[in-house]
Amino acid sequence: MDVKANYSSTVQHQKAEADRQRERGDDRLYISILRGKARNLMYRQNWQEVSLPEIVERFAPRASPIVKGNKIHYRSLDGAIDVLVDIGGGYLRIQDLKHSTRKRPEYLDLSGHNPRYVIVSGKKVRVLPPEQYNPITHFRIKHMLQIESPKHKS
């Protein structure tokens, strides 16, 4: 199964799982999916649209998807990069695992560089504030219509 087909089926599965959990009184996954969708609606005009299969092929070729709640991870075989997809939001980020910490994840732009910092006199210096950094490290996934679920439309 290719990346896009796998992604689409995973999204449908997780949305159905959120509904099942919600019926049992656990709203956490459902709310997480709705928050992702809200982020998309709020910020999508600032995000570049990309092809999920192309991004996975470029940054994490031959990666198998790992589903954790509202996220799908496509981790590179060397463990350096994680293409992190938000199920509810239909967007992705490219995480630099070599330079991320639990408290401070670091994300890359489409060229594979971390746009938050530059090197000045041998030291890493923070350059971009979050309001400038986030639009160049979040990417909308193309062709989302086939995975929309009527139960989750707002």
Cα distance between residue 17 and residue 72, in whole Å = 14
The first and second tokens of residue 34, run together, are 């709705």
Cα distance between residue 56 and residue 73, in whole Å = 10
The first and second tokens of residue 96, run together, are 């630099």
- pTM given for the model: 0.83
Length of the chain: 154
pLDDT tens, residue by residue, 47-80: 999 999 999 999 999 999 999 999 999 999 999 9
Q: Are 7 and 85 in contact (CB under 8 A)?
A: yes
Q: How many helices (H) and strands (E) does the chain have?
A: 4, 9
pLDDT tens, residue by residue, 108-134: 999 999 888 777 788 877 778 888 889
**Whether residue 153 has pLDDT greater than 50:** no
Burial class, 94, CB count within 10 angstroms (exposed 0-12 / middle 13-18 / buried 19+) = buried
Q: Are 69 and 32 in contact (CB under 8 A)?
A: yes
Q: For residue 49, which phi and psi values (nearest 5 degrees)?
A: -90, 135
Among residues 134, 115, 133, the alpha carbon closest in space to that of 125 is found at 115
